[in-house]
Structure 1
Amino acid sequence: MARQRPTPRPDPQPPNGPPVIRVLLADDQAIVRTGMAMILSAENDIEVVAQAQDGLDAVEQAARHHPDVILMDIRMPRLDGLDALRLLNRPGTTHTPKTVMVTTFDDDEYLTRAIEAGAHGFILKDSGPRLLAEAVRAAAAGDALVSPSITLRLLRRQHHGRAAPPTPGVRLTPRERDVVVLLADGLTNAEIAGALTITVGTVKTHLGNVQSKIAGRNRVEIAAWAWRHGITRKDC
């Protein structure tokens, strides 16, 4: 009797399709996690691989499932989102997912600390399906997305008044400055490219150069640096 061939396992990521982004949701409210999971599961290129009910659970789930992106609430029991973020980004870790902090307007006091801990973006819990999916895709591409309302509200509050003196040794080219100004105003890379009539790839190149010059880890830190040094629109 001929041996039956085993049924081939389906390819989890078709070669001709978009890369699937693996996402971990971390929030102490089950209804919030359920809502985000429903929104993201409707996207062809996003897969929710795990959910966590607090920061400690998020760190454990991240080690188990190796997600590409984590959507992390800031205020959670046992271990809050900021401490979980620090653990995820600690030196020596073999897998460091991009983490987007999910917040409310009442969390302004935590946002600066999250930037320092290496967050790859901020969105509001009521941002809506489109921005939620865009934040995941941006983080996966190393291109943090911050809700414009959070960016402007936080940074204006932090750096209201006299700008700090220029960082020693940091000189931006005119085009780098143009890109940074628009970034600090909350524009995405695609929007910056459209405004300056350049390609998205060129925008990324300029931001990479700026990031190296200011020793920033991501575009969130570039925006904070720009506001701190007065490199913003004159009418802001």
Structure 2
Amino acid sequence: MLPLPVLTVYLVEDDPLLARHVLDALAQADGIACVGHAPCLAVAREELPRRCPQVLLSDLGLPDGDGTDLIREISRGAGPWRPHILVYSVFGDEAKVIHAIEAGADGYFLKGCADRDLIHAVQRAADGESPISPAIARYLLKRFGQAESGASGFDGAAPPAEDPQLTPPEHAVLRLVAQGYLAEEVGERLMMSAHTVATHVRAVYAKLQLGQRAVLGLAS
């Protein structure tokens, strides 16, 4: 029997207790191997090009800078390696999550979540799925519907005119997630699979990143 493929993960986290918890959870999960841990940006920047993990887990507030900068560097890099990126989040931290997604993150998971939820988030990220919460969905509806509603983002800034528009299915998915429905429930109401729901969410994240790149391009 051929050995099962191993999913490689790299952790960027400066809190030693939290890092130990995450590393232990990853070590106990079948089919997952942690190939490195960095307590700061400098170490991560040095090691990541050599470790080339499939999934990067990164905190945002680090001793020597913002994890969003690392995410942006990796996402805009010219090399062939591009991991799936998940960032840490806490309740009420949606603005930072959105900025990380704009920089290239694929999603997030909550600090202090159960080990099984952490492992599930890592596996979903590796499969190309992107987590989303009702609060994030509400923000995205405002972001992409700015011209109609006059709503603004978490920081009060108007979204750029260059933002791509949502398709009707993407809008329908976000609207139901914003109301608190889970992916399976959204799929049932829209007569699509949970996988298709996840595909629409990822497409919305990609449009958010595309709009941000357009802004940066105009500013350069």
Alignment of 1:2-21 (within 5 A): 14=3, 17=4, 19-21=5-7
TM-score, with structure 2 as normaliser: 0.72
Alpha carbons 1:89, 1:118 under 8 Å: kept: yes
Greater percentage in helix? 2
Larger Rg belongs to: 1
Code of the aligned partner of 1:57:
V
Alignment CA distance shift 1:164-1:90 (3 Å): same
Secondary structure of 2:63's aligned partner: coil
Task: Tell me how far 1:85 sits from its aligned partner.
Answer: 0.9
Q: Does residue 1:95 correspond to 2:81, yes or no?
A: yes
Query: Equivalent of 2:55, from 48, 69, 75?
Result: 69
Q: Residues of 2 paired with 1:170 and 1:108: CA distance? A: 21
Alignment deviations for residues 74-114 of structure 1 (CA, whole Å, 9 cap, x no partner): 11112321111111112413211111111334645523321
Task: Name structure 2 gaps, 5 residues minimum.
Answer: 149-160, 210-220
Aligned to 2:136: 151
* Residue 127, structure 1, aligned to residue 110, structure 2: no
Distance, in Å, in 1 between the alignment partners of 2:19 and 2:64 is 18
- 1:217 correspondence with 2:212: no
Q: State the distance in 1 between where 2:51 and 2:11 align.
A: 12
* Amino acid corresponding to residue 217 of structure 1 in structure 2: A
Match of 1:101, as an amino acid? V
Cα distance in structure 2, aligned partners of 1:120 and 1:71: 10
CA deviation string 1:191-215 (max 9, x = no partner)? 533443432444356x28x93xx7x
Q: How does 1:185-204 map to 2 (within 5 A)?
A: 185=179, 189-203=183-197
Give the secondary structure class of the aligned counterpart of 2:62: coil
Aligned length: 196
Give 1:37's aligned residue.
23
Please say if 1:172 is aligned against 2:158. no
Contact 1:59 1:88 in 2 (8 A): no
Q: Which residue of 2 aligns with 1:225?
A: none
Provide structure 1 residue ranges, at least 5 long, that are not aligned to the other structure. Answer: 1-10, 223-236
- Asked whether the equivalents of residues 134 and 179 of structure 2 are also in contact (C-alpha less than 8 Å), the reply is no
CA RMSD of aligned residues (A): 3.5
- Paired with 2:182 and 2:8, the residues of 1 have a C-alpha distance of 22
Q: 1:74 to 1:200 in 2, by over 3 A?
A: same
Query: Partners of 1:149 and 1:128 in 2: how far apart?
Result: 19
Change (3 A) 1:80 1:177: closer
